[in-house]
A and B are shown apart, each in its own frame.
Chain A
Amino acid sequence: MLKIWSMKQQQQQQQKEAAASGDGSVKKKVTAAQIRVQKDLTELSLPSTMKTHFPNPDDLLHFNVTIEPDEGLYQGGKFSFSFTINNSFPHEPPKVKCTQKIYHPNIDLEGNVCLNILREDWKPVLNLNAVLVGLQYLFLEPNAADPLNKEAASDLQHNRENFRRNVRNSMNGGYVGHEKFERVVKA
């Protein structure tokens, strides 16, 4: 028979001993954030346009994502993002930055991303899949209503043809106004 109460006492006893001896052999505690990220990653179902990269496979809390939109104005580009997840996840959203300097109404020149679910609309029942899909959506439907790059947003709103040209120029590593952008077209 499973003696759950004696097991509980036994474990508590072991914990006490481990703490008292302080020999550092205590198992490193897996944090709630790590457990949740692990679950989110196994449930990830990404389209072929998105890929994750883990620079350190033992560290699930830091990884990179590339998005290669297959339609829309940003088609043909390859965009890189870094994800940093702190121990308050899922109570706090992951921190997402674009690692390239790109021309996009919702991404500023430092790579900060304006996506509602990464900010005010985050809630812990959202998972990483939702964030990634949201991120890809920014490239399919850039949103001029909530800009971080005001010039780009104004171009998108008032002169769509000009905006399209600027996107192509910037993706090729060219200038838009006085700003030079990073070449992000697929090799």
Chain B
Amino acid sequence: MKVTINRWNAVSTWHWDHAQEELCGICRVAFEGTCPTCKYPGDDCPLIIGDCKHAFHMHCLLKWLTTESSKGLCPMCRRKFKTATD
């Protein structure tokens, strides 16, 4: 039997390559969702991962780090937040 494909739809799913947790600890929205200021997930609203391995929506974490009370610490473990290098 010969089949001719007239039309096909490709479907894919994606997730960030960071398995430890699922939600951003700051806004409590899934990493694959967006921070409260963004509308579209993905590259528009990326994650940031620290040396301490804790991950957040980048926008959520940057907002925290601009507050004086953050003292530059990771909201999860209170170690100095340094972006992981790889």
A residues apposed to B, CB below 8 Å:
1, 8, 11, 31-32, 35-36, 39-40, 88, 90-92, 120, 122-125, 127
Nearest chain B residue, comparing its CB with the CB of A126 = B75
Known contacts A8-B40, A32-B37; is A125 also within 8 Å of B26 by CB? yes
Does B40 lie within 8 Å of A120, measured CB to CB?
no
Tell me which of A35, A90, A92, A123 contacts B78 (CB under 8 A).
A123
Binding site secondary structure of chain B: loop
Known contacts A91-B63, A120-B69; is A125 also within 8 Å of B27 by CB? no
B residues apposed to A, CB below 8 Å:
9, 25-29, 35-37, 39-40, 60, 63-64, 67, 69-70, 73, 75-76, 78
Does B36 lie within 8 Å of A32, measured CB to CB?
yes
Chain B residues with CB under 8 Å of A124's CB are: 25-26, 60, 64, 75
Nearest chain A residue, comparing its CB with the CB of B67 = A91
**Could you name 11 residue pairs across A and B whose Cβ atoms are closer than 8 Å?**
A11-B39, A35-B27, A35-B29, A39-B28, A40-B28, A91-B67, A92-B69, A123-B76, A123-B78, A125-B26, A127-B28
CA distance A91 to B36 in the complex (A): 13
Closest chain-A Cβ to B66's Cβ sits at a distance in Å of: 9
CA distance A92 to B26 in the complex (A): 11
Chain A residues with CB under 8 Å of B28's CB are: 36, 39-40, 127
Does B27 lie within 8 Å of A36, measured CB to CB?
yes
Closest chain-B Cβ to A40's Cβ sits at a distance in Å of: 8
Chain A residues with CB under 8 Å of B29's CB are: 35
Does B69 lie within 8 Å of A90, measured CB to CB?
no
Closest chain-B Cβ to A15's Cβ sits at a distance in Å of: 10
Chain B residues with CB under 8 Å of A125's CB are: 25-26, 75-76
Chain B residues with CB under 8 Å of A92's CB are: 67, 69
